[in-house]
Chains A and B, each alone.
Chain A
Amino acid sequence: DAGVIQSPRHEVTEMGQEVTLRCKPISGHNSLFWYRQTMMRGLELLIYFNNNVPIDDSGMPEDRFSAKMPNASFSTLKIQPSEPRDSAVYFCASSLTGAYGYTFGSGTRLTVV
């Protein structure tokens, strides 16, 4: 089992550019989560999907953020246009049911300059 796979591991982009983060969950897991980690705010849940359907996107900070899950094996988080305050580590996690825990990817460190 390769675990949750995120790409890229690091991303540096200029303000105003579009950024797309990618995630492949563990096969068989039916829930997928996007988190953002910053020093100031800690780990924040941005959005999550159950069976590819967005359930709660109340954590998405602005309309500049969007997420999709076109199938059970792939999800994207897009920021358009990016701003310096979006700089953070973005984690993707998947789970079969919450009871058994959540498996996290290695994260994408995004730097917007």
Chain B
Amino acid sequence: AQTVTQSQPEMSVQEAETVTLSCTYDTSESDYYLFWYKQPPSRQMILVIRQEAYKQQNATENRFSVNFQKAAKSFSLKISDSQLGDAAMYFCASCRGSGGGADGLTFGKGTHLIIQP
């Protein structure tokens, strides 16, 4: 079984500044994937970034990047140049790799990100 822990229920950052959201996970799998999802007030779940566990290079998507520390089982999300539209719940999630089809995602409890104008 996999577990995902987000220890920050809420974070606040000034617009244009950088913020880091923490996530730790636990898994016995050697092949797995990690994700960050954003859920704005519209409740739509939006994929922000994903990371393959076998890749050492940290994933980057525009202003979003991760710090993947495999030995520490840590997967933090850094948002640079924060914008008002980044305000949302952010969920860290993991799934094990599977040969065919997909396996279910395990989610953390989420971090509510507030952007101060």
Contacts and interface: CB of A to CB of B under 8 A. Distances in A.
Interface of A: 30-31, 33, 35, 42-43, 45, 48, 50-51, 55-56, 59, 89, 91, 93, 95-104, 106-107, 109
A98 B95 contact: yes
Interface of B: 33, 35, 37, 42-45, 47, 50, 52, 91, 95-98, 100-110
B92 to A, nearest CB: 11
A106 B47 contact: no
- The listed residue with most B CB atoms (<10 A of its CB), out of A42, A43, A91, is A43
B109 A42 contact: yes
Contacts of A100: 50
Given A102-B102, A109-B43, 6 more contacts: A31-B101, A42-B110, A50-B100, A89-B43, A91-B45, A99-B33
